[in-house]
Amino acid sequence: MRLNKYLAKAGVASRRESDRLIQEATTTVNGKVILDPAYLVQPDDVVAYDSKEIKLITESYVIMLNKPKGVITTAKDTHGRKTVFDLIRFKERLFPVGRLDKDTTGLLLLTNDGELANKLMHPRNRVPRVYEAEIEGRVDEKTVNRIERGVFIGDGDWGKAEFLEQKTIKKRSTVRLQLFQGKKREIRRIFEFQNIKLYSLQRLSYGKIKLHDLPEGKWRQLTDSEVKLLHK
C-alpha cells in the first residue's frame, strides 16, 4: 500500500493532504523519515506520523459542525487562534473535509476516513456545495451569466458558481450559490474580482448533507444513512 493511502486509511488526512504531510517530513517508516508519498508500506512496517505510531482504522466516523466566524479550520495554530478542534471532543482523531476560511460560517464535515474525504473533495466527482452570501446591491443578469461560465479569480485560477436564488431587500441581496470544485476562498475571490462587496458567507450543505437547524458552534455525528448518502 502506498504511504499516502496508508495515512489516509489511518485517519491522518485525505490522500491529497497526506501527500503534503509526507513531503514535510512528518512521517517515518521503521524509524526512517520517508518523503515519497508513493513509498510502498509492507505488512510488517511500523509507520509513525508526528512521532506517534499509526495503524489502519477499523471503523470510520463522520461528524458535522456548524463553524462560527473567527474559528480556523486546522488542527493546530501557531498564533494561538481558536480552531474547530477547540469546539469538538471526539474519541477518534478527525480531520476536516476541505476547509472553510476564518470568516466563513456553516457546515464543515470532519472524518477519520481519508478515502471518503478524498472522494468528496476530488473535482472529478463534482460533489455540490451550497453557500449563502449576503452582498451589497444586486448581481445583474450579465454578471450572473459571466460567473456561471467562469471568471478569473487571480493566481492563475478561474472560479465558477451556479446561482440558485437571489433575494434583494433595499440595498442588500441574499444569494445562494452552488459550487462543484471548492477552490481556496473561491466565492470570496469571485465577488472580489467582480467588485461586489461581500458581508457574510455561510455553507448550507455538502453533497446531500444539510446544515438545517444545528446551532452555531455545535456538532453531531452523522447517522449511518447520512454516511451512506456521502458515499453515493
**Cα separation of 137 and 199, whole Å?**
11
In terms of C-beta density within 10 A (0-12 exposed, 13-18 middle, 19 or more buried), how is residue 194 classed? middle
What phi and psi, each to the nearest 5 degrees, are found at residue 15? -65, -40
Q: CB-based contacts of 140: which residues, under 8 Å, 6+ apart?
A: none
101 catalytically annotated: yes
**Cα separation of 26 and 58, whole Å?**
23
CA distances to 17, 130, 190, 191, 224 from 137, in Å: 38, 21, 15, 12, 42
Active-site pick, 19, 50, 101, 224: 101
What is the set of active-site residues? 101
